[in-house]
Amino acid sequence: MSLLKTPAITLRSRRWGEADRIVTFYTLRFGKLRGVARGARRLKSRFGSALEPFVHCDLNLFEKANDHLHRVTQADIQESFAGLREDLERMASAARLANLVNAITAEGDQSSRKFETLLAGLRALQAGHDPGLTALLFQVKLLELSGYQPRTDHCVTCGGELHKTGEAKGFRFSPMAGGLVCDSCAWRRPDGGLVLSPGSVAFLQKAGQLTPEALTRLTVAGPMRRELDTTIEAYVTVVAGKRLPPVDFLAAEPREPAYEAKRWP
Ligand SMILES: [Zn+2]
């Protein structure tokens, strides 16, 4: 057995047996990993609230040979992000960032930038930035850092030039192809019909370029915000392979996903 020490953020925590928890972390030094915390659900657990969702802690764990499940021995809170668990909108947005990282990251896939981006997203939510917009911005950045940046320079299918569609005055986005598609490719793709205005395309490009700390300076509202929300929701559903719990569950009428991942082979 070897002892691992690393800063970590809790992505997911579930009950295990009588008194234990299995916790999925995104860690700075070792990427995503899972650990069992013995006795974590007892009243006087030594872990206290350090294993709650979104908590940023310094983690000690034992790695066992031939076992994906580590043993958590100590977790010291650095930032509790308590405010994110006390407000439904902020919680939904924080959960989306944690769920996205969990869904698109393989165990052991280490990225300091992804860790810092997730942390910056949680800090922005804690600081009171618009929860829905913050979720949008940081999802775009986390997708980029995971190799899923939406392609917007040329047609993602054939590499050809992109033209604004005359009728809709926008570009066509294909969630399955992972970017903008030209008119002739859009006709051949059943999902090539999501329209993104030039302003939305510029927003996506900018969000991909900015550092996590600078991201919250970007704003978008109105129809552009709606088409970006719809597009990123559809794309995240494809990339994650499933619908993640919604960010906007408080909306009067929940938005239907533009595309269900299960519809595609
Ligand atoms: Zn094309």
Asked if residue 179 has pLDDT above 50, the reply is yes
Mean residue pLDDT of the chain comes to 89
> In the predicted model, is pLDDT for residue 78 greater than 70?
yes
Q: Which amino acid is at 146?
A: S
| Core vs surface per residue 26-56: b (16+ CB within 10 A) or e | bbbebbbbbbbbbebbeeebebeebbbbbbb
CA of 236 to the centre of ligand 1 (A): 22
Is residue 56 within 8 Å of residue 98, measured between CB atoms? no
For helices 112-126 and 131-145, give the axis angle rounded to 10 degrees: 180
Quote the CA–CA distance of 83 and 89 in Å, as a whole number. Answer: 11
Superfamily the domain 2-136 falls into: Nucleic acid-binding proteins (2.40.50.140)
- Distance between Cα 187 and ligand 1 center (Å): 9
Give burial (CB, 10 Å; 0-12/13-18/19+) of 58.
middle
Distance 154 CA to ligand 1 centre (A): 8
CA distance 252 to 231: 20
So where are the chain's domains?
Answer: 2-136, 144-263
Q: Give 250's pLDDT tier (boundaries 50, 70, 90).
A: low
Kindly give the pairing relationship between strand 69-79 and strand 171-174: unpaired
> What is the CA(233)–ligand 1 centre distance, in A?
23
- Taking the centre of ligand 1 as the mean of its atom positions, its distance from the CA of residue 169, in whole angstroms, is 18
Residue 59 pLDDT class (50, 70, 90 cuts): very high
pTM over 0.85: yes
| Distance from the alpha carbon of residue 202 to the mean position of ligand 1, in angstroms | 20
From the CA of 161, how far away is ligand 1's center (Å)? 7
